[in-house]
Chain A
């Protein structure tokens, strides 16, 4: 599967070579999650488990309908429930399907040290190629959305694949297929943005003045987008980042420091080398030996009365 798609990579983790670019005409895809029509039924979670053969542990009640309690190596998508009292004092139950956002500029991919363990296809999907994953957890640090999880069993990182296997053969992701209210939609990013526009208009007409699309520019946009009633306050939705970006720390670490460090180390080594061929070794001379011997001898005689 992945070999067939290898021409299709537009980004590849820990790779200094330019990825193949011949397939320049592929359409960008996107999943649109219309939070305003999501009823939190978890059909998406069930479908995700079914399609991807994931079965997390049977957990406990943790004070919310949110189950399992967190994303995990076997939990690639998760409904999150937030009870919010708005300015009018009315309750809103903001339910959001959490999972990989498939950033156009993926922080996980930037952070990943293993060549080809994280790839981005021409259609925008960011995928983890598990056999190449080394389990370092750098993707966790790179992700602005706190998505990847490392398995305690096999020490590999997992997250939503946007059903890249389904999408590559013309199917929609499993969650999209299962969503009973059409709250999850899938198609070209352009179409999804247009449809989101219609939905936002409807929401505005129903009194949600700040309705909008969540497609954060700081990560180059995402291939999973949300229609939010309160696009001005994404963090209301169980901590969806207001301004997601790849951390400057990660940016520094995976950016300028990498080449600088190698150059520095190389320069140090070269410095030594050129010192050697210019100044040469610092060798002990016969005189030194004589002097040394002398010092030892003299002390010997001094002590002998």
Chain B
């Protein structure tokens, strides 16, 4: 979230698209209700199904799964055509005026630089025209046809309301009404918040879905303001924390990149991480990358990381592929390239696409370690549970180690919520039975491995042998101690060059990332967390809910990264002169000498408005990007590509049907179905009664939603003779699910390119362990393909067939 949960109440329009906030985030959804009641906000829902969120919406429009980019490009087309954008904001705060290189182009569904062989782009043309000093050229009059705004206009000109309706199946009048509501927030004192979740990320074009809305929000001047923003509602209580500390295979904590194998030394690695400003006088905060990196290395390797060994750069793993995501991991298991798997707090047999492939992969392992508080399906993949898990135990040689761990309520620690708040929590109970904390288990594995390396040597023992492990209790480090390590501390007396005095004594905890150095005198496990645990104490444990303006910002409640900032890019909440766009809901204001307000400025606190420093300080041009340069895999502008499994041809460019940059393994491609055999569009989602695959282990949740079902519209059900609550078989090229049918008015056929298109809704949750009734799991059906940038699986749009059937045998 750029903003906070509480801040939603400041919105004038709340759009829920690519998510179902009421269903998946019922507690946070209270702020949407608050916005409606206290701020007269309109709630707009765009979704393939009439959801629980839609049930309290002011306006609902249907959309075919996987066509959000077409819809949102249509919105941009509408805004630009009707001139319903916030001009001053767009001019001053976005890269609309910057001039794009001549080589950049887009034709027949492909941007310039595409390589058919590698399914990847040479992105060198996706950039600005630079002047002699290396600054991006600009035309504030927008006369130059190569201005970003003009290229954008041209790019979205194809997305007329007719075209949107043809692709998305959204009736034109409904689409236009949504456009109207969105456009109403182009006024400087009006804001729209975008609430989204996996409904956007779980597509082969997931990241571009989100970018599309971010662009809409930039055009409307809704980023950085109260009640605005791009608000990803995270699914797990700590999934934000997961990305923050770099648990993705290509990242390091604090959104730093793990080196590639071609980056053979620190200098090569740093070459792409200089972040020289692209406009005069810009902050380009990533220029401090080296400080964050060195401090991280000092945190990892302590005294062993020195100037002489390039801060232990060589001890970092190097990527030979863009990332080792889970889809790749299971591909490797199936190919025999990965033979051991440690599965910590993760249930891939339920959670990852193409369940059959997951089961086959697990069956080929030598060993599987599961660490979970629950008896997960993954840890029982080898056991025959009847049709819901038809495993042939005798043929499976995988040795499974099931390690029960404590859960969040049985340990101290912090969780990072969607609003980037690090909130400390305290142990409420002892873990049951022999459950031990993840920290204890991981420490044990670490110590034993290191001992083995010490005794027996190995290919490259250095990283493990040199990791610093100076905890009071090395067997089970204290969570507070780990939190302090994340925060970071001074390793030597830090001298303030301005006064030439010791500003921070050696050994003290840091107050923020501004203190980090690249000379090895500071250590910080995760630079963005610097400030969470200072000499003043555990900032995450703060519980003062005082909200000075009752505007949803309580600065002394827990601690938000970065720097306890609650609304990112909040400089953009004020006009170029520093006055708030919306005087009723100011965030920060220039008082003549400094920035003041209810939030920590996302800006130099004394940088004058007249200095012309852009509000998007992390970007080298200081501006919000309508043109993404080379940061996306499939193009600097979003483009509509059909899901890998789609019922229709891509009407914009039939030759480029799907995301051209998508990575698809050959066997996965062979497992894609075609619309002649699998004519219906399916989408998966979770229900409010359950939390992913966990709560079926809890009796009350099992009672509230006991049995697997799919949702099917009345029209299709009638066509197929399917009765309310009757048994159906839903099949994709990859597998089948036999479950009950919920015949509903909430899903209606959509006219897509002149043909009625039916959507089948497949709730996730049910498996073969836990207290709820046994289920096949919706991931039996889903295709193994991910977003081209993140490899998040395409769970939200694929093809199935559905037939009436009888109850599964032995179910």
Contacts and interface: CB of A to CB of B under 8 A. Distances in A.
B725 A61 contact: yes
A95 interface: yes
Give the residue among B26, B55, B745, B772 with the most A Cβ atoms within 10 A: B55
B703 A55 contact: yes
Interface stretch (B185-193, B536-544, B736-744): B736-744
Nearest to A57: B703
Contacts of A87: none
A255 B746 CA distance: 47
Give the residue among A60, A65, A83, A183 with the most B Cβ atoms within 10 A: A65
B477 interface: no
A250 interface: no
A180 B688 CA distance: 12
Interface string A47-85: 001100001111111111101100000000000000101
Interface stretch (B27-35, B160-168, B561-569): B27-35
A128 B58 CA distance: 40
A181 B33 contact: yes
A55 B699 contact: yes
B772 A43 contact: no
A266 to B, nearest CB: 52
Given A56-B703, A206-B58, A64 B689 contact: no
Interface stretch (B46-54, B109-117, B509-517, B551-559): B46-54
B742 A181 contact: no
A202 B740 CA distance: 39
Contact of B30 (A61, A83, A181, A202): A181
A61 to B, nearest CB: 4
B772 A58 contact: yes
Given A41-B26, A83-B744, A180-B27, A93 B54 contact: yes
B746 A181 contact: no
Given A41-B688, A180-B27, A59 B700 contact: no
B402 interface: no
Contacts of A43: 26
B705 A85 contact: no
Contacts of B699: 55, 58
B743 A63 contact: yes
A91 B29 contact: no
Interface stretch (A31-39, A165-173, A280-288): A31-39
A219 B365 CA distance: 68
B740 A61 contact: yes
Interface in B702-761: 702-709, 724-725, 739-740, 742-746
Contacts of B58: 206
Nearest to B59: A90
A67 B765 CA distance: 16
Contacts of A55: 699-700, 703
Contact of B29 (A49, A180, A206): A180
Contacts of B772: 58
A61 B709 contact: yes
Nearest to B28: A180
B33 A49 contact: no
B458 to A, nearest CB: 50
A183 to B, nearest CB: 8
B37 interface: yes
B771 interface: yes
B248 interface: no
Contacts of B746: 83, 91, 93
B572 interface: no
Contacts of A49: 700, 703
B552 to A, nearest CB: 16
A260 B52 CA distance: 54
Nearest to A205: B40
Give the residue among A38, A58, A92 with the most B Cβ atoms within 10 A: A58
B57 to A, nearest CB: 10
B658 to A, nearest CB: 32
A42 B689 CA distance: 7
A120 B386 CA distance: 53
Interface residues of B, number: 43
A272 interface: no
Interface in B345-361: none
A212 interface: no
A105 to B, nearest CB: 33
Contact of B706 (A36, A60, A180): A60
B56 interface: yes
A292 interface: no
B26 A93 contact: no
B380 to A, nearest CB: 20
A67 B689 CA distance: 10
A61 B55 contact: no
B218 interface: no
A61 B706 contact: yes
Nearest to B688: A41
Given A39-B52, A49-B703, A85 B29 contact: no
Given A41-B22, A55-B699, A58-B773, A63 B725 contact: yes
Given A39-B52, A93-B54, A61 B744 contact: no
Given A37-B56, A39-B55, A58 B33 contact: no
B742 A64 contact: yes
Contacts of B29: 39, 180-181
Contact of B745 (A36, A57, A85, A183): A85
Given A63-B725, A91-B746, A180-B29, A40 B55 contact: yes
Contact of A42 (B688, B724, B740, B773): B688
Given A39-B56, A42-B689, A60-B773, A67 B703 contact: yes
A61 B37 contact: no
A46 interface: yes
B30 A60 contact: no
Contact of B700 (A50, A62, A85): A50
A62 B723 CA distance: 11
B170 to A, nearest CB: 14
Interface of B: 22-23, 26-27, 29-30, 33, 36-37, 50, 52-56, 58, 60, 687-689, 699-709, 724-725, 739-740, 742-746, 771-773
9 contacts: A36-B56, A38-B56, A56-B703, A61-B707, A61-B742, A64-B742, A65-B705, A91-B50, A199-B37
Given A36-B56, A50-B700, 20 more contacts: A37-B36, A39-B22, A39-B26, A39-B53, A39-B56, A39-B688, A40-B52, A42-B689, A46-B704, A61-B707, A63-B725, A85-B745, A91-B60, A95-B55, A180-B27, A180-B29, A180-B30, A181-B30, A182-B30, A206-B58
7 residue pairs, one from A and one from B, having the closest CB atoms: A63-B725, A39-B22, A93-B55, A61-B707, A41-B26, A63-B724, A83-B745
